[in-house]
Amino acid sequence: MGRLIGLLVSLAILAGLYAFIDVGALWRAARAADPWWLAAGILFVVPLTLLTSWRLTLLVADVALGFLESNRLILAASTLNLFLPSKLGDLAKSGVLARRHGMKPSLSLAIVVLEKALDMASLLVWGVFGLLVVGAARPAMLLLLLPVGGGLAALALLIAPLHLLPFVLRHFGRWMPGKLGGAVAAFAASWREVTDWFWQTPGRAGGVVLLSITIWGAHLFQFWLFAEALGAGVPVLANAAFATLSILAGLLPFTFAGVGTRDAAIVFFYAPYLDPGAAGILGLLATLRYVLPAVAGAPFVADFARKGQPLAPDAAKP
pLDDT digits (tens, 9 = 90+) for 105-117: 777 888 888 999 9
In a domain? residue 318 = no
Specify whether the CB–CB gap between 65 and 316 falls below 8 A: no
The CA distance from 58 to 13, in Å, is 40
Domain with 23, as residue range(s), is 2-301
Q: Is 269 left (phi over 0), alpha (psi -120 to 50) or beta?
A: alpha
- The CA distance from 34 to 281, in Å, is 13
The DSSP 8-state label assigned to residue 78 in this structure reads: H
In percent, the amount of the chain with pLDDT more than 70 equals 89
- Residue ranges in 138-201 assigned as alpha helix (H): 145-159, 164-173, 178-200
- How far is Cα 186 from Cα 109, in angstroms, rounded to an integer? 10
Tens of pLDDT, residues 263-293: 899 999 999 999 999 999 999 999 999 999 9
Categorize the per-residue pLDDT at 151 as very low, low, confident or very high, splitting at 50, 70 and 90.
very high
pLDDT tens per residue across span 194-234: 888 889 888 889 999 999 999 999 999 999 999 999 999 99
Does residue 310 lie in a domain region?
no
Distance CA 193, CA 239 (A): 37
| Alpha carbon 291 to chain centroid, angstroms | 13
- The answer to whether 144 touches 245, Cβ cutoff 8 Å, is yes
pTM score, two decimals?
A: 0.87
Rounded CA Rg of the chain: 20
Number of domains in the chain: 1
User: 74 Cβ partners below 8 Å, 6+ apart?
Assistant: 49, 52, 53, 56, 293, 297
Q: pLDDT exceeding 90 applies to what percent of the chain?
A: 47
**Domain assignment present for 314:** no
Residue 307 resides in a domain: no
